[in-house]
Amino acid sequence: MTGPCNIAAALPSLAAAHPDRVAIRCPGHGGRYDVALDYAQLDARSDAIAAGLARRGIVRGTRTVVMVRPTPEFFLLMFALFKAGAVPVLVDPGIDRRALKQCLGEAQAEAFIGIPLAMLARRLLGWATSARTCVTTGARAWLADATLAQVEHDGAGAGPQLADTRPDDIAAILFTSGSTGVPKGVVYRQRHFVAQVEMLRTALGVEAGGVDLPTFPPFALFDPALGLTSIIPDMDPTRPAAADPRKLLAAIERFGVTRLFGSPALMGVLAAHGAALPTVRRATSAGAPVPPEVVAKMLALLPGDAQFWTPYGATECLPVAMIEGRELLTLRERTERGAGTCVGRPVPPNVVRIIRVSDEAIERWSDELQVPDGEVGEIIVAGPTATDSYFNRDAQTRLAKIREQPGEAGGRIVHRMGDLGYFDADGRLWFCGRKSQRVVTAAGTLCTEQVEPVFNTHPDVRRTALVGLGARGAQRPVLCVELNHGIARAQRPRIADELRGIGARFAHTSCIDTVVFHPRFPVDIRHNAKIGREKLAAWAVKQLRSKQ
């Protein structure tokens, strides 16, 4: 590779070729979308900020917490840090306070950049106490060493700032959503970001010049590298399920959005609203399985030749596999009969395999780990975006990574997805649920994504969640149920009996006879789509005890 390996490396050439093309457009006061950065501005101003940060010791390798809302300042900062070769540290701000403090402590940050509220919280709650340099996006350097405006002023006129970063240099530390435990800091190297851009470009057919509405802000960082214009939605990114569809549609219509990314919860909001999306050519949803009814409704709202993609992956490795909505709908009946959710075929050049289920570390790869096609096991993947470690989490790294033999493909790292699944006879990958959330009874193992879709067919049910009570190997399967809005409490006994009847139709669900009703399932803060089954299990224990 010639030149730096860096996600920001494409920005100077794009700025030269298309200086006036809008790179990022953000809603300003009142959501008027009167704040924009073209490619020339994004390039020049991020250069100035990178130079100003260097004067304050934020340079190549400096771990830097970024707690800034998805505004122009966020994107300017991120590209400045990438150009400097510094290491941004991103944590979802809505996670439990104790978990957030632990994450920031583990990152051992040397710098902290945040909005005024984050600066105050850092002082009051003891966040990132290792940081020696603090910058605020506020108008005054309150609880900080400088404002971002001062930093940019100090670096103005310094010229290009792209560091000579190498493929194995750490590019960022991105914390997982923590949907199944305390978030872990995933170490992204420069080569991981560069590979992600190219795999997404090829797999999704991205062409420069399109207009993207990425409702998960970090995904907007890919857009400048892909030559796209990002329209940042007027919504709380930590609450996609509560987004106002009218505001989303207004942005889509006004700016001719051609590409749309959102969690299943966000897509559910648009699907329920029911307005057509005539300009959108590609819609993409990830973070959890997308309900078939949402896929069908979204396809009906899109133009006839548009595509709806549901990539499968994780913070540690993305994308792994993909399937288009029309193919997914042809498999709906199999899903509703307990086959799991099809996530498509591996994205080249990924190598995806299925191994025996184990909760123990696996030091070295062996072909004997694999299970036959069609048998449910643990999903693992090797490929250019498979990350190789968690920051300061050696035990979790050992559990999640397998090293291939040195003579095989250079001894690459294989990531254990922590998911269960299998390959069908047509080479498609099926997702059966999280390994940690499987229910192991005396009679066998139950997988959440093979059980819940069976019961989700009930017309009064919004969604269900399988949990196991007791010690693994002798667990009691319990079906937690969230009903559609407006269903009276008096209807619960009838619905419970009908659900047991549905379960009795299939061998793998016939053992489930305990049904409990929950008012609103806990979900992850990132996508509002991953059900917090661990919390539901603790709740179910209390519910059943109270009835004894």
Read off the pLDDT of residues 211-229 as tens digits, 9 standing for 90 and up: 999 988 788 888 988 999 9
Is 316 inside a domain boundary?
A: no
Q: What is the pLDDT of residues 110-127, one digit of tens each?
A: 999 999 999 999 999 999
- Give the burial string for 195-211 (b: 16+ CB within 10 Å, else e): bbbebbbebbebeeebb
Closest listed residue to residue 272, CA positions, set 250, 252, 246: 246
Domain that holds residue 64: 10-232
Does residue 410 carry a pLDDT above 80? no
Confidence of residue 97 (pLDDT cuts 50, 70, 90): confident
Share of residues in the chain with pLDDT > 90 (%)? 85
Q: Is residue 311 part of a domain?
A: no
Asked whether residue 276 carries a pLDDT value surpassing 80, the answer given is yes
pLDDT band for position 353 (50/70/90)?
very high
193 & 121 share domain = yes
Question: Which residues, including other chains, have CB under 8 Å from residue 127's CB and lie 6 or more apart?
Answer: 65, 100, 101, 104, 112, 118, 121
Q: How far is CA 259 from CA 217, 239, 301, 329, in A?
A: 14, 21, 14, 21
- Asked whether residue 33 falls in the same domain as residue 139, the answer is yes
Predicted pLDDT at 450: 98
Q: Does residue 248 sit within a domain?
A: no
**Residue that finishes a domain, picked among 197, 232, 267:** 232
Same domain for 425 and 469: no
At a CB cut-off of 8 Å and minimum separation 6, what does 388 contact?
Answer: 187, 189, 397, 401, 413
- Assess whether 422 and 445 both reside in one domain: no
> 208 and 161, same structural domain?
yes
pLDDT at site 77: 97
Of 207, 232, 257, the one marking the end of a domain is 232
Q: Do 432 and 460 share a structural domain?
A: no
Residue 275 counted as domain residue: no
Report the largest interatomic distance among the alpha carbons of the chain, rounded to a whole angstrom: 73
Q: Are residues 423 and 519 in the same domain?
A: no
Report the CATH number that the domain containing residue 519 is assigned in CATH: 3.30.300.30
- C-alpha to C-alpha distance for 423 and 429, rounded to whole angstroms: 5
Q: What is the pLDDT of residue 32?
A: 83
Q: Does the pLDDT value for residue 337 go beyond 90?
A: yes
Domain stop point among 374, 407, 437: 437
Neighbours of 380 (CB within 10 A): 26
β-pair type (146-147, 170-175) = unpaired
For residue range 446-456, what is the model confidence (pLDDT) as tens digits?
A: 999 999 999 99
pLDDT at 232 exceeding the cut of 60: yes
- In tens, the pLDDT along 235-245 reads 988 889 999 99
Mean of the pLDDT values across residues 413-422? 97
Q: What does the alpha-carbon distance between residue 196 and residue 200 come to, in Å, rounded to a whole number? A: 6
The domain that contains 427 carries what CATH number?
Answer: 2.30.38.10
pLDDT at 316: 95
| Mean pLDDT (whole number) for 394-403 | 95
Residue 502, in any domain of the structure = yes
**Same-domain status, 104 and 150:** yes
The answer to whether 151 and 53 have CB atoms below 8 angstroms apart is: yes
In a domain, 150, yes or no: yes
What does the pLDDT look like over 503-543, one tens digit per residue? 999 999 999 999 999 999 999 888 888 999 999 999 999 99
> 122 and 155 share a domain?
yes
Dihedrals φ, ψ of 207, to 5°?
Answer: -120, 135
CATH code of 213's domain? 3.40.50.980
Residues 374 and 357 in one domain: yes
Q: Do 55 and 137 have their domain in common?
A: yes
Nearest alpha carbon to residue 89 among 55, 42, 122? 122
The verdict on residue 136 lying in a domain is yes
pLDDT tens across 127-168, in order? 999 999 999 999 999 999 999 999 999 999 999 999 999 999
Q: What is the SS3 assignment for 364?
A: strand
In a domain, 462, yes or no: yes
Closest CA to 416 of 373, 368, 354: 354
Q: How does pLDDT run across 44-89, given as a tens digit for each residue?
A: 999 999 999 999 999 999 999 999 999 999 999 999 999 999 999 9
Sign of the torsion angle spanned by Cα atoms 230, 104, 403, 429? negative
Number of domains in the chain: 3
Q: What is the mean pLDDT of the chain?
A: 94
User: Which pLDDT score is estimated for 406?
Assistant: 57
Whether residues 48 and 183 fall in one domain: yes
pLDDT at 405: 66
